[in-house]
């Protein structure tokens, strides 16, 4: 018997929409002060490793890792010098990699940067990514559970994915790559578009209801193996249903107005500096307005033959594309050439950190409440060990910075991902093949 006070999910979400995810404003006074401030998860990936010549050898001034034995007494080489102003907001980590990734091909590991899975030949099945674990935990508080970006866009193909984000069943989540499309989704709205969206959502909801109802009878007729495959399909359908429901709930909540000065919304793969800076700006604006608390950005994928990001270095005046620079790191002048690309990426990251550090959030800053992972899944191309990476921010949520740490080869990168999840308030006991928190990055 249906009780008179029962509300279905869509009715409830629609009614609750106006109260979800409001940013903490000074005008809210004591009420805002007593409310928990947001915690945010951000990950940025670049492919093919970094410039890592031997210390003291040719080109060693372009070595990605800093000089020094670890701890607080370290000095940046040329590659990361643009981050000098943020040394107290950074931890540079040496020695980490995904243990299962060491069994995989050197260009196959971008897919598992945030999952730690092993893509086995003939199966190529991934697992959930850390950003999506965070999105599950607190994504309902914001208009969008997460923001997945990449230069190439979409999902790519197994071992050459164009996204860092994967759902619970290991299915890739399509990444957005058009700045104007991203901006309009997060911040653009008018009366005509609202009417169109409402009509489209009603139509989508009806269609999904029919699909799910029909699926119940279909599933009963399948064998065990087919049922498992069919369940994966249903999970995808349900995730679409959830997105429709969320969109319905937020439809009448006005999108935040933001300043578009400095945004290059028509930037594309032919203007790499404007393009990458705008992608970072869109993440910043999404965090600042509390439109989402989870974001990923894949600067380039591992498909050297077709990645539209591959030509970025050449457009910036460097002698080769991304893939060519990575393969030539040990040739004469190669460490410097690759190092200059690394330095460009560090400049872009530094600008992003500048914006977050200069944005107050109560008596803290946006950066203090955001943990940022920046790194790659190779050391040198084809080598899946000792992957260059750093964390930034998170001072107010338990992260320790201002250091260069060196870890043993037995420490899985999943320990870092688990620690990041804990810092943003996700109480997971383990993640992938983690063995515990990475205590070295905890305050």
Q: What is the model's pLDDT at position 36?
A: 78
Backbone angles phi, psi at 170, to 5 degrees: 85, 10
Q: Is residue 28 part of a domain?
A: no
User: For the segment 216-236, what is each residue's pLDDT rounded down to a tens digit?
Assistant: 666 666 676 676 666 666 566
Q: Are 150 and 297 in contact (CB under 8 A)?
A: yes
Q: Is residue 16 part of a domain?
A: no
Of 254, 278, 296, which residue is a domain's last?
A: 254
Of 204, 226, 254, the residue that ends a domain is 254
Please check the confidence at residue 174 and state whether its pLDDT lies above 70.
Answer: yes
208 and 240 in contact (C-beta within 8 Å)?
Answer: yes
Q: What is the pLDDT of residue 56?
A: 86
> Does one domain contain both 371 and 347?
yes
- Tens digit of each residue's pLDDT (9 = 90 or more) over 356-405: 999 999 999 999 999 999 999 999 988 999 999 999 999 999 999 999 99
Q: Does residue 89 lie in a domain region? A: yes
Those residues with Cβ within 8 angstroms of residue 367's Cβ, 6 or more apart along the chain or in another chain: 89, 353, 356, 357, 359, 392, 393, 395
Task: Establish if 96 belongs to a structural domain.
Answer: yes
Please report whether residue 67 resides in a domain: yes
Same-domain check for residues 365 and 249: no
Whether residue 293 is found in the same domain as residue 314: yes
Domain count, the chain: 2
pLDDT > 90? residue 193: no
How do residues 66-124 score in pLDDT, each as one tens digit? Answer: 998 889 999 999 999 999 999 999 999 999 999 999 989 988 999 999 999 999 988 89
Q: Is residue 296 part of a domain?
A: yes
Whether residue 21 has pLDDT greater than 90: no
Q: What is the mean pLDDT of the chain?
A: 86
Q: Provide the domain limits for residue 221.
A: 189-254
**Residue 354 pLDDT exceeds 70:** yes
Q: Of 201, 220, 254, which residue sits at a domain end? A: 254
Same domain? 298 vs 326: yes
Q: Do 154 and 221 fall into the same domain?
A: no
Same domain, 273 and 241: no
Looking at the DSSP bridge assignments, the partners of residue 40 are 370
* Residue 10 lies inside a defined structural domain of this protein: no
């Amino acid at each position: 018997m249906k009780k008179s006070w029962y509300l279905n999910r869509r009715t409830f979400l629609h009614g609750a929409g106006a109260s979800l995810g409001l940013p903490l404003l000074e005008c809210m006074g004591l009420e805002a002060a007593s409310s928990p401030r947001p915690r945010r998860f951000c990950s940025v990936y670049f492919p093919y490793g970094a410039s890592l010549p031997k210390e003291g050898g040719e080109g060693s001034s372009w070595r990605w890792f800093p000089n020094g034995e670890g701890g607080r007494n370290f000095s940046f080489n040329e590659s990361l010098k643009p981050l000098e102003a943020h040394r107290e907001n950074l931890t540079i980590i040496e020695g980490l990699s995904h243990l299962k990734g060491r069994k995989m091909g050197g260009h196959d590991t971008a897919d598992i940067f945030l999952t730690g899975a092993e893509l086995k030949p003939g199966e190529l099945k991934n697992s959930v990514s850390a950003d999506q674990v965070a999105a599950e935990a607190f994504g309902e508080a914001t208009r969008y559970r997460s923001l997945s970006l990449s230069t190439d866009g979409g999902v790519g193909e197994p071992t050459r994915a164009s996204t860092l984000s994967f759902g619970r069943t290991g299915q890739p989540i399509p990444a957005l790559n058009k700045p104007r499309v991203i901006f309009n989704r997060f911040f653009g709205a008018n009366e005509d578009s609202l009417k169109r969206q409402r009509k489209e959502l009603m139509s989508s909801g009806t269609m999904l209801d029919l699909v799910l109802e029909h699926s119940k009878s279909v599933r009963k007729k399948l064998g065990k193996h087919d049922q498992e495959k069919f369940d994966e399909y249903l999970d995808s359908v349900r995730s679409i249903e959830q997105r429709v429901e969320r969109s319905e709930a937020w439809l009448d909540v006005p999108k935040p107005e933001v300043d578009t000065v400095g945004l290059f919304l028509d930037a594309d793969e032919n203007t790499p500096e404007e393009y990458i800076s705008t992608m970072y700006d869109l993440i910043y604006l999404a965090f600042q307005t509390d439109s989402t608390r989870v974001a990923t950005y894949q600067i380039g994928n591992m498909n050297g033959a077709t990645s539209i990001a591959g030509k970025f270095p050449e457009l910036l005046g460097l002698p080769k594309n991304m893939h060519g620079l990575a393969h030539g790191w040990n040739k004469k002048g190669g460490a410097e050439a690759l190092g200059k690309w690394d330095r460009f990426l560090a400049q872009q990251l530094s600008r992003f950190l500048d914006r977050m550090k200069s944005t107050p959030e109560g008596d803290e800053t946006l950066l203090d409440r955001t943990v940022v992972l920046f790194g790659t899944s190779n050391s040198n191309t084809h080598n899946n060990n000792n992957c260059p990476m750093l964390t930034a921010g998170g001072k107010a949520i338990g992260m320790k910075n201002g250091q260069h740490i060196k870890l043993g080869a037995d420490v899985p990168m999943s320990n870092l991902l688990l620690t990041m999840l804990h810092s943003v308030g996700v109480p997971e006991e383990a993640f992938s093949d983690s063995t515990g928190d990475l205590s070295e990055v905890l305050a």
